[in-house]
Amino acid sequence: MAYERSQFRIMGDRSLLVELGDRISPDVNQRVRELFVMLEKNPVKGVLETIPAYRSLLVIYDPLITNTILLQHQIKDLQKKSEVVDTPEPKTVEIPVVYGGEFGADLEWVARYHKTTTEEVVQLHTAKTYQVYMIGFTPGFPYMGELPERLATPRRETPRTTIPEGSVGIAQRQTGIYPVESPGGWHILGRTPMKLFNPLQIPPTLLEMGDLVRFFPIEEGEFKQWQQ
Amino acid sequence: MAAVETLEIVAPGPLTTVQDRGRFGYGRYGVAPSGSLDSFSLRVANLLVGNDENEACLEVTLFGLRLKVLRDVAVAVAGADLQAHCDDMPLDRWTSHILKKGSAVSFRGIRCGCRAYLAIGGGISVPQVLGSKSTNLPSRFGGFEGRPLKKGDILSSNSPRLHLETGGWRLPQALVPSYGSETHLRVVFGPQDNEFTEKGRKALLSYPYRVSPDSNRTGIRLAGPIIERRPDVGESIISEGVIAGTIQVPGDGQPIIILVEIVTGGYRKIATVITADLPLLGQIKPGDAVRFKEVSLDEAYDALRKKEQDLKEFKETRSARP
């Protein structure tokens, strides 16, 4: 649940971790987003950048300009003053996915694990709208939830050393997309032709924290078309 | 400003990359800062050849880099002593040198430290990607075509001729850091120090930890006495933002010092190396020992102010020269 009062944790002499709740949940994550937006709208002297996550915001500061104690006061004051925060309306992004085959190497394993068909796994994965809780791991990787209970799957016992760009994976009650080729331990259900990270654009990522995502299935033959 | 060719890579060594101070402000998109692992040496090398202190340098790892000089150019080498030579003359570190067209630069082997920074008067002309010239190695963008340098690559610089008067500039001896086989790092406890046992916290401060060979620009892996966590807490935590210098402890109890190629993590962090000591992280190599000492936040802030003041004084004397 969300904490009544934010908890502050010291991460060295140039960052402060603000914890807003004790678990992964949409309402705790919304509190993180509110504080993130609040600090964007009311810049605090010495704050260089903030990194939002599931239940916390990491505030990175210039220790030659400010310090932990001052920052804690300023953040608490901001939270008191602005009880209601207008966060921007999240955008909804629809993401095409080729499920299974060489694009989704673990689809059949996941179906067997849940004693069901690959069709049902796809149906379950595409039935929900997911919330982007945070971007991390690699540039543009969206951690999204909650996966239907019925699809909750442990991570792979042995992580793969390379997962191709665009791979759509699941782990526990989360789903995510690998924007660049990287190692990873999630079960891969399919692959999207959409580009999630482009360092030559600002913003460099398709998705941001707070966005809503829906997946829909496409045929393998359509993959190339979507890439253009 | 016209960019002209200055250096050609004859042999790249195990890892040579283009790095500036880093790519900041994109952590929310999962984009790591990258950048030099030893920002002190990078800044000094740049200042010695009359560059902006944030300009990109070559980050040279260990040994083996060889270069051909394509036109008269000012260079400075700072950081690790990798026995840099120009033809057969040793290139003193922390000093600006004028190299003649046609000469050959080589890094012959490690005497101390791990990474040397080679600054070129006029900088390195590569595009800024998300506000930085640094190479993001895991995601392959920025720097020189998003990759380590290889044989045949040619570096260009902006108006190198304008930097030739810097020859002989030198960092005062008092500011030259020394690198040994045991590095002492000052840390501030947190953010999850209270989720380790008293025994675990003591272990971190009491024993030397050995740097393991699978360390890289993402993290320095250490081996030593187990840092024990409280029995009532699990192996991992809910992922959160991280910064360079923070010491995470995975399930096996062996600490990893996070470096610059990652922005989030899911393990507990017992302590964080203070900003003033971060440049030392770039000079630790496999086989070295590391010892940690706890300091207060105020001591950490003071240590940084002192270091920045020293650098500021050096900058002022440098600009006062004719």
In terms of CA atoms, which chain A residue is nearest residue B138? Answer: A182
* Residue B109, pLDDT score: 94
Cβ contact (<8 Å) for A199 and B31? yes
User: Helix A68-81 to helix A26-41 angle, to the nearest 10 degrees?
Assistant: 100
Q: Is B126 on the interface with A (CB under 8 A)?
A: no
Q: How confident is the model at residue B318, as a pLDDT?
A: 74
B211 close to A (CB below 8 A): no
| Cβ within 8 Å, pair A135-B29 | yes
Alpha-carbon gap, residue B311 to A92, rounded angstroms: 49
Q: Which amino acid is at B111?
A: R
For residue B60, what are the β-bridge partners? Answer: B16, B116
What's the mean per-residue pLDDT of chain B?
96
Which residues in chain B are contacts of A2 at CB distance < 8 A? none
Q: Does any CB of chain A come closer than 8 Å to the CB of residue B243?
A: yes
Q: Which residues of B touch A56 (CB under 8 A)?
A: 238, 240-241
| Per-residue pLDDT, B320 | 56
Instruction: Looking at the complex, report in whole angstroms how far the Cα of residue B97 sits from the nearest Cα belonging to chain A.
Output: 33
- One-letter amino acid of A190: G
Determine contact, residues B46/B87, Cβ cutoff 8 Å. no
**Triad B241, B206, B275: Cα angle to 5°:** 40
Confidence of residue A108 (pLDDT cuts 50, 70, 90): very high
Whether A225 has a pLDDT exceeding 80, the answer reads yes
Q: Is the dihedral of CA B164, B166, B170, B175 positive or negative?
A: negative
Cis-peptide into A203, omega within 30 deg: yes
Q: Are strands A212-217 and A92-99 parallel, antiparallel or unpaired?
A: parallel
pLDDT at site A1: 80
Residue B319 has pLDDT above 80, yes or no: no
| Residue ranges of domains in chain A | 2-81, 92-227
Cβ(B48)–Cβ(B119) below 8 Å: yes
Mean pLDDT in residue range A90-114: 97
Closest CB to B191 among A9, A135, A137: A9
Residues A22-34 have pLDDT tens digits of 999 999 999 999 9
pLDDT for the residue B322: 47
| B246 closest CB neighbour out of A12, A51, A138 | A12
Q: Domain coordinates of chain B in residue numbers?
A: 3-176, 182-304
pLDDT greater than 70 at residue B243? yes
For A92-227, CATH gives: 2.40.100.10
pLDDT at A84 over 80: no
Question: What CATH number was assigned to the domain covering residues B182-304?
Answer: 2.40.100.10
Q: Note whether B242 contacts A11, CB cutoff 8 Å.
A: yes
What distance in Å separates the CA atoms of residue A84 and residue A45, rounded to the nearest whole number?
A: 22
Quick one: pLDDT at residue A2?
A: 86
Q: Per-residue confidence at A55, pLDDT binned at 50, 70, 90?
A: very high
pTM: 0.95
> In this predicted model, what pLDDT tens digit does every residue of B141-193 receive, in sequence order?
999 999 999 999 999 999 999 999 998 899 999 999 999 999 999 999 999 99
**Are A58 and A17 within 8 A, CB to CB?**
yes
Q: What is the pLDDT of residue B288?
A: 97
B85-103 residue pLDDT tens = 999 999 999 999 999 999 9
With H, G, I as helix, E, B as strand and everything else as coil, classify residue A79.
helix
Residue B305: its chain A contacts at CB < 8 A?
A: 64
Residue type at position A90? P
pLDDT score, position B70: 98
In this predicted model, what pLDDT tens digit does every residue of B105-144 receive, in sequence order?
A: 999 999 999 999 999 999 999 999 999 999 999 999 999 9
CATH C-level class of A2-81: alpha beta
CB A15 within 8 A of CB A58: yes
Query: In degrees to the nearest 10, what's the CA dihedral of B61, B66, B72, B76?
Result: 20
- % of chain A at pLDDT higher than 90: 88
Bond into B191 cis (ω within 30): yes
Tell the burial category of B289 from Cβ atoms under 10 Å away from its Cβ (0-12, 13-18, 19+): middle
> What pLDDT, on a 0 to 100 scale, did the predictor assign at position B234?
87
Q: Alpha helices of B52-185 — where are they, by DSSP H?
A: none
User: Furthest-apart CA pair in chain A: how many Å?
Assistant: 59
What 3-state class would DSSP assign to B51?
A: coil
Using CA atoms, how far residue B116 sits from A70, B61, B110, in Å, is 37, 7, 10
Beta strands of B159-263 (E only): which ranges? 182-189, 209-211, 219-223, 236-241, 246-249, 256-258
